[in-house]
Amino acid sequence: MAFAAFSTSTSAPEPAPRRKSPIALLLLLPGILYLVLFFLAPLVSLLLTSFQAPSEFGDVGQYSYAFRWENYVDVVAAYWPHIMRSFGYALIATVLALVFSYPLAYFIGVKARPWPLLQSLMLVLVIAPFFISFLLRTLAWKQLLSDESFVITSLKALSVLGPDAHFTGTPFAVIFGLTYNFIPFMTLPLYTTLERLDLRYLEAGSDLYARPFDVFRKITIPLSMPGIVAGTLLTFIPAAGDYINASRDFLGGPDTQMIGNVIEANFLVLQNYPAAAALSIILMSVILVMVSVYVKRSGTEELL
């Protein structure tokens, strides 16, 4: 429910004049210390672990501190397809979620303005999937998309699908799951910017003889850019690191494993901590670089 992070930050009114006081330190210190201990220190720990070498005794799961940078070469060589798949799937899911959400958010935020009750009701329905377990809703799709389900069998009976069509375990199913699960993260920030969209700009556009499509492309889209940026980030980041949808017990198969799956397997099953740590560092670095470039290029730095 990270939407709050992005949707509220832009709507704050003028702040009160700021004072300097020792109270500030007292207020900040406990929370900041907590984040240093349980967020920053673990990242350092992860970085150190990623350079560890197997211990001399050769026991499984025993490593000693070293500067074995070859760990990175090894994991990239071994898991190149998983790394590419993660970013590819996440990118497709983000685009699909944007295409799905924009008209919906536009309707709730612009067209439904005369009916505030309808707006609230629709917003509740958009976030409703959050209220039911992430894992159970993914499993529900697995059942609904399985070969024996009434959805698939009736589509096959109607010849909409070929007799050999198969969904679960395919990249299609994983991307479908990623898209579905992160749609609310896309719709909500889009809604918050579209809800504040000043319709007079659109009227001005059509008064100046712009065609509806040009009004949309040259006025609506640029004005809703903060929502688009926030929504795509909130969808892309968790989607790239997700391993539920791609897991074999959920929507994935052996050929759909993403970077999250191999981090989990290396850390919790194989006890190959350096490999898991190196993959995590790679995932985080790529995301941070992509995010900062994206935010710079779209000119919405104030979001952060």
Shortest CB 252 distance to other proteins, Å = 12
Structure tokens given for 89: 């799937």
CA 259 to CA 279: how far, in whole Å? 7
CA 203 to CA 194: how far, in whole Å? 15
Structure tokens given for 303: 């979001």
Shortest CB 21 distance to other proteins, Å = 6
* DSSP letters spanning 228-248: HHHHHHHHHHHHHH--STTST
Shortest CB 116 distance to other proteins, Å = 7
Which amino acid is it at 71?
A: N
Q: Which is nearer to other proteins, 47 or 162 (CB)?
A: 47
Structure tokens given for 88: 């590819």
Cα–Cα distance list, 267 to 88, 121, 259, 275, 279 (Å) = 23, 43, 12, 8, 10
Q: Which is nearer to other proteins, 162 or 188 (CB)?
A: 188
CA-atom Rg of the chain in angstroms: 23
The CB density around residue 62, as the number of other CB atoms within 10 Å, is 13
Cβ distance 224 to 10 under 8 Å? no
Shortest CB 13 distance to other proteins, Å = 5
Shortest CB 140 distance to other proteins, Å = 4
Q: Which is nearer to other proteins, 162 or 173 (CB)?
A: 173
Q: Which is nearer to other proteins, 205 or 274 (CB)?
A: 274
Q: Which is nearer to other proteins, 162 or 178 (CB)?
A: 178
Beta bridge partners of 63: 54
Q: Which is nearer to other proteins, 149 or 162 (CB)?
A: 149
Cβ distance 151 to 165 under 8 Å? no
Q: Which is nearer to other proteins, 162 or 292 (CB)?
A: 292
Q: Is 259 helix (H, G, I), strand (E, B) or coil?
A: helix
Shortest CB 241 distance to other proteins, Å = 3
Shortest CB 20 distance to other proteins, Å = 5
